[in-house]
């Protein structure tokens, strides 16, 4: 697989693996052996970028990733995150310097490693000056415990403040064909500052695969049950987007998911999507997108086909909007 560069020197595979769903968020956690098998299969197929966080589980996902990559630790990049009180998103944000240092030490142990390659602030903490957050990570970098600093779902002002203290290698934010808000202000800023973008939910939390319909039933622990964009009515309305994607994909003998990922890769050379999956055949499908090169005509055709599709439903319920960083 081809590689891409995030920030000033972090080289990773063009497509990474978001590991969250193996332990958290989309229903019950997978069996440990299966989770390890998925991560190792990704590595065997060229993936060198694995994304986790203390909050995924909490804590279980870091342990899973650490065990899975142990045989080839020095050949991969591990990204993890700090920023929630006690590691639980529902308890609110917490980026106090002391807490950042505590998370770093705990994550190193769970990941069975001596350094964190990319350490993200999971969400901006309005109670802690961004200069203090970036300064604390800078100290960890100087100590050799962290290699690169990242942010997630941060806004323009926060990114500028942080970058002035410690260069930000990557911003992880939602970006896909059904959430294009970053194009307004974030992408121009990242290009200006030389920061990479790591889109999470690049397949619209599974919706852009075409496998989810208005009749799909989610597990009781799947957080999509409370996401307005995944209400049965919204899913029925938003299926128009998938239908257009399916038509485009059929012309190129690809799948909707592959087109959606290839579209992201074509936007900028410093964009590295991290689709997640629990299924080996979906992993194969997703990674196949790296072999698809969309031409200028292809991209214009996609824009034209999707121009009049209006996406229905908010991407977060009201109770979680405070965690979007905006």
Residues with a known catalytic role: 56
Q: Give CA separation, 63 vs 25, 40, 204, 207, in Å.
A: 16, 14, 26, 28
In this structure, the number of other CB atoms found within 10 A of the CB of residue 317 comes to 13
Q: Would you give the end-to-end CA distance of the chain in angstroms?
A: 34
Q: Which helix (H) or strand (E) holds 49?
A: strand 49-51
Cβ(141)–Cβ(106) under 8 Å? no
Q: Which helix (H) or strand (E) holds 250?
A: helix 232-251
Burial 218-248 (b: 16+ CB within 10 A, else e): beeebbbeebebbbeebbebbbebbebbeeb
Cβ(187)–Cβ(195) under 8 Å? no
Q: Give CA separation, 152 vs 17, 37, 71, 238, in Å.
A: 16, 27, 29, 26
- Distance CA(122)–CA(154), nearest Å, equals 9
Place of tokens 């409370």: 226
Task: Show Cβ contacts of residue 274 under 8 Å, excluding neighbours closer than 6 positions.
Answer: 15, 16, 17, 18, 49, 51, 172, 198, 199, 200, 202
Task: Show Cβ contacts of residue 102 under 8 Å, excluding neighbours closer than 6 positions.
Answer: none
Q: Which two tokens stand for residue 232?
A: 């049965």
Q: How deeply is 105 buried, as exposed, middle or buried, from its count of CB atoms within 10 A (0-12, 13-18, 19+)?
A: exposed
Between CA 259 and CA 108, with CA 77 as vertex, the angle to 5 degrees is 135
């Amino acid at each position: 697989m081809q590689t891409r560069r995030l920030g000033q020197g972090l080289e990773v595979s063009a497509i990474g693996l978001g590991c969250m769903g193996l332990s958290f968020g989309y229903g019950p956690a997978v069996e440990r052996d299966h989770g390890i098998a998925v991560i190792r299969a990704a590595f065997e197929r060229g993936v060198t970028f694995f994304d986790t966080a203390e909050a995924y589980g909490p804590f279980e996902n870091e342990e899973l990733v650490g065990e899975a990559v142990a045989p080839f630790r020095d050949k991969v990049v591990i990204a993890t995150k700090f920023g929630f009180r006690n590691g639980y998103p529902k308890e609110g944000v917490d980026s106090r310097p002391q807490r950042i240092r505590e998370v770093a030490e705990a994550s190193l142990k769970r990941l069975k490693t001596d350094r964190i390659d990319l350490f993200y602030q999971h969400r901006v903490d309005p109670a802690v000056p961004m200069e203090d957050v970036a300064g604390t990570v800078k100290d960890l970098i100087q100590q050799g415990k962290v290699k690169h600093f990242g942010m997630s779902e941060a806004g323009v002002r926060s990114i500028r403040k942080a970058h002035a203290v410690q260069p930000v290698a990557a911003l992880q934010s939602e970006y896909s064909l059904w959430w294009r808000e970053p194009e307004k202000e974030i992408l121009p800023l990242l290009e200006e500052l030389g920061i990479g973008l790591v889109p999470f939910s690049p397949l619209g939390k599974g919706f852009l695969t075409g496998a989810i319909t208005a009749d799909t039933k989610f597990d009781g622990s799947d957080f999509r049950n409370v996401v307005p964009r995944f209400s049965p009515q919204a899913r029925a309305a938003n299926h128009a987007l998938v239908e257009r994607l399916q038509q485009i994909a059929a012309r190129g003998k690809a799948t909707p998911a592959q087109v959606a990922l290839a579209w992201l890769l074509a936007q900028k050379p410093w964009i590295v999507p991290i689709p997640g999956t629990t299924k080996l055949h979906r992993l194969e499908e997703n990674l196949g997108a790296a072999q698809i090169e969309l031409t200028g005509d292809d991209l214009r055709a996609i824009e034209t086909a999707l121009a009049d599709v209006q996406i229905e439903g908010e991407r977060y319920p009201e109770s979680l909007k405070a965690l979007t960083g905006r």
